[in-house]
Amino acid sequence: MKILLTNDDGIRAKGLSLLYGAIKEIAEVVVVAPETEQSAVGHAITLSDPLRVTEIKDNQKTFGYAVNGTPADCVKIAVKAIMEMPPQLVISGINIGPNMGTDVIYSGTVSAATEGTILGIPSFAISLDTFKDPDFSYAASFAKRLALIVMEKGLPRGTSLNVNVPAVPEDKIRGVVITRQGKSRFVEGFDKRVDPRNRVYYWQTGKVIIEDVDEGADRVAVNNNMVSITPIHYDLTDHKSLEELKRWRIF
């Protein structure tokens, strides 16, 4: 079994390293990840510039390949150019910080898994719900367990999994729950500053507003120390609105 690992935090990220250590116990691993952090780039791909691939070594052995592109680029070039045969599974992560609610739209981590799904490969993204002093050990162990299950069961066509792990010790994890994407929004602010050359620039700030208290939502599950697994699909059609819009008689 061959598994492709990627992320959006960059090939030197600790979360990717811990994931690699866990997954190599069950499969042959190929790492193709951005050479620099690509957080919140969504599903962007590179069309106007060449992609360059650099082999990364660890103790004189190949750890993986760094790409000067986005997470989606990494999956594309791994499957179509770097690997001789497509992998049986794509795992994106372990991301530092959660990817829940509307964050999923912006997430490079989730988009890498989505790209794997578009290419017909079972895929999942995994994130840890903290930005401070992350301990990836349980998330890495869980990723290994989930990888074995996905390889055995498969995934529905067009569906990837978005996994979020609470940042608590393993003995505090209360279980695993299948969730839906919750409702949340990021309320932006822009801190106006002036650089040494007296030019104005802005630094984006803000906070996430949770609009969901339903127990089936991803954020609620993680807040209750449950691992959240949300099946997501790249078909963004609002099927509930199709018939209503047809009645508008636009033409």
Q: Reply yes or no on whether the pLDDT at 208 is more than 80.
A: no
How far, in Å, CA of 230 to CA of 233, rounded?
10
Query: What is the pLDDT, as a whole number, of residue 185?
Result: 75
Query: What digits encode the pLDDT tens for the residues 34-88?
Result: 999 999 899 999 999 999 999 999 887 889 999 999 999 999 999 999 999 999 9
Query: What is the pLDDT, as a whole number, of residue 237?
Result: 93
Cis peptide before 94, with omega less than 30 degrees from 0? yes
Provide mean pLDDT across the span 181-188.
83
pTM: 0.93
Provide mean pLDDT across the span 108-120.
97
How far, in Å, CA of 19 to CA of 13, rounded?
10
Residue at 13 is within a domain = yes
Query: What digits encode the pLDDT tens for the residues 94-113?
Result: 999 999 988 899 999 999 99
Query: What is the pLDDT, as a whole number, of residue 184?
Result: 79
The band of 205, judged by pLDDT with boundaries at 50, 70 and 90, is confident
Residue at 251 is within a domain = no
Query: What is the pLDDT, as a whole number, of residue 214?
Result: 80
Residue at 204 is within a domain = no
Q: Reply yes or no on whether the pLDDT at 251 is more than 80.
A: no
Residue at 100 is within a domain = yes
Half-sphere exposure of 115 (CA within 13 A, CB side): 29
In this structure, which amino acid lies at residue 36? T
The band of 186, judged by pLDDT with boundaries at 50, 70 and 90, is confident
Average pLDDT, the chain: 94
Which residue range(s) make up the domain with 62? 2-182+213-246
Query: What is the pLDDT, as a whole number, of residue 176?
Result: 97
DSSP string, the chain: -EEEEE-SS-TT-HHHHHHHHHHTTTSEEEEEEESS--TT-TT----SS---EEEEEETTEEEEEEESS-HHHHHHHIIIII-SS--SEEEEEEEES---TTHHHH-HHHHHHHHHHHTT--EEEEEES-SSS---HHHHHHHHHHHHHHHHH---TTEEEEEEE-SS-GGG--EEEE-BPPPEEEEEEEEEEE-TTS-EEEEEEEEEEE----TTBHHHHHHTTEEEEEEEES----GGGHHHHHTT---
Q: How many domains does the chain have?
A: 1
CATH number of the domain where residue 71 is located: 3.40.1210.10
Residue at 195 is within a domain = no
Residue at 133 is within a domain = yes
Say which residue the tokens 């963004």 belong to: 236
Residue at 189 is within a domain = no
Query: What is the pLDDT, as a whole number, of residue 221?
Result: 94
Residue at 205 is within a domain = no
